[in-house]
Structure 1
């Protein structure tokens, strides 16, 4: 039984092939924009972690593979990085394109490239508008990769997409990719409540559902309820994710880089030993130089 037969993860108009666009009806995209705010609402720990490692490693060009509404890309553009931002959701990209238009008088945004692309064909998609380009860094953050479900039961598509991320990196380049602490969510049936990415201005309630098929967790559904008390508005939407366990995801990442990358894992942007039950695991891999 597929996840879609149990949880309605898709809206009308979402393609049946490729990375599923759970934002296709525009509702979640609008609400998500309210949830994450703008680049000024990013947590300082997140900014310091990402920008610090990029600058420490001399990164200048960055591929944001899940740019969404463009908030993280804008944060990096403001710091002087050259950004190529892609997403599979045209509804999310509309927000990014609008944000770039609003910044058109700022010269830093002149070279910000925004295109639609699919992780399954990522290197080919990039080649179509930037032939022969590899990047100093690739980012896929905010639990974005877990949107890609496991339709075949062997994670073959997920593994292929991770290899595509590696292909887009220069030798010595960095991949930043994360996932929620699904180990804890599966064990407890609840989502760790703290946010490491967003300083959201609104009360947010997240209800967690775990689908188990054949004794194996196959999907986690998060029902977001965001309350705007000032305007007396409540926004609700559901997003579904593949529950990546830390050990298995670590193994898949290493295999995507032919077991030759330097691989560091962080818990909520801190060393693993400092956070007993993190909300997120963040992986940073450095591609081998030869």
Structure 2
């Protein structure tokens, strides 16, 4: 059972929460390179990226579909007494109804981010187009950015996971996990429908037993994701692809990044 939406992940936040300096530097550089000032974080979780962006002077609206995550982010905001944190907005919102849940400022935000491998939480449909929830969500997320603004998406390298049956334990986002991941893949008619990752962490506080955390992902391959962007946006956008924060060329068999990041300028 996926233990993210119910907030169980927060009891493991010592393992997941602190991001690497590389991830922070990359995100800030991209936003500043494109002159962004207003940011919509549509997968804020407990507010890790959003809090950092507010600290760095961005005007941030954070949203998540989990009540638990929104409550946690609001507690984080309340604990920050600096005046700049009074500008941080936090709202409950669902990607599938985003234009109704969030009122965009003017023509839209300078940047919209959806990071932390968040999109693959979306379940596939049972109909003829299993990617329909992705397409609706991406369309709604894209609608929130202003003309000339940017979108930042990321997701794990599911191509490699499905090819090898293994997942990187440590990624560029979080590199201090110290035990292992037990992986299982559910197929239907030869098509991967779900990847279940059971994280096994060392015991803490004198306990004898290891800690476990389970999370489900619905894997979209890199070419599928790229094709969805092309279909939704047409030919009028710029797309830069990164693998572990370094420029990446699709099909490069010599590089197997743990995380793909997409920077899209519309």
What TM-score do the two structures reach when normalised by structure 2?
0.91
Unaligned runs of 5+ in 2: none
Q: Please tell me the root mean square deviation across aligned C-alpha atoms, in Å.
A: 1.9
Q: Work out whether residues 217 and 243 of structure 1, in 8 Å CA contact, stay in contact via their aligned partners in 2.
A: yes
Q: Assess if the C-alpha contact under 8 Å between 1:206 and 1:225 holds in 2.
A: yes
What is aligned with 1:211?
Answer: 186
The 1-side partners of 2:212 and 2:151 are apart by 32
Are 1:286 and 2:265 counterparts? yes
Deviation at 1:44, TM superposition (A): 1.7
Alignment partner of 1:47 is 2:24: yes
**1:226 aligns to 2:201 (yes or no):** yes
8 Å Cα contact 2:240-2:247 kept in structure 1:
no
Moved more, 42-51 or 231-240: 231-240
CA separation of 1:28 and 1:42: change in aligned 2, threshold 3 A: closer
Summarize deviations over 1:15-43 as a string: whole Å, max 9, x none: xxxxxxx422x322332x22223xxx321
Question: Does the alignment pair 1:61 with 2:38?
Answer: yes
Cα distance in 2 for residues equivalent to 1:259 and 1:204: 44
How many angstroms apart in 2 are the aligned matches of 1:191 and 1:62? Answer: 31
- Counterpart in 1 of 2:119? 145
* 1:98-123 alpha-carbon deviations (Å, 9 max, x no partner): 111110x2112110001100000111
Task: Indicate yes or no: 2:148 matched with 1:172.
Answer: yes
How high is the TM-score relative to the length of structure 1?
0.84
Structure 1 unaligned runs (5+)? 1-7, 12-21
CA contact (8 A) 1:193 1:279 kept: no
Aligned to 1:126: 102
Q: Distance in 1 between matches of 2:73 and 2:15?
A: 15
1:35 and 2:20 equivalent? no
Q: 1:227 to 1:165 in 2, by over 3 A?
A: same
Q: Relative to structure 2, which stretch is displaced further, 233-242 or 219-228?
A: 233-242
CA contact (8 A) 1:82 1:112 kept: yes
Question: What residue in structure 2 maps to residue 277 of structure 1?
Answer: 256
Work out whether residues 143 and 179 of structure 1, in 8 Å CA contact, stay in contact via their aligned partners in 2. Answer: yes
1:48-103 CA-to-partner distances (Å, cap 9, x unmatched) read 11100101110000000000010110111111001100000111122211111110
SS in 1 for 2:39: strand
Contact 1:126/1:133 (8 A) holds in 2 = no
CA gap of 1:36–1:193, structure 2 versus 1, over 3 A, is: closer
Distance, in Å, in 2 between the alignment partners of 1:113 and 1:279 is 31
Q: Which runs of 4+ in 1 moved over 4 A?
A: 130-133
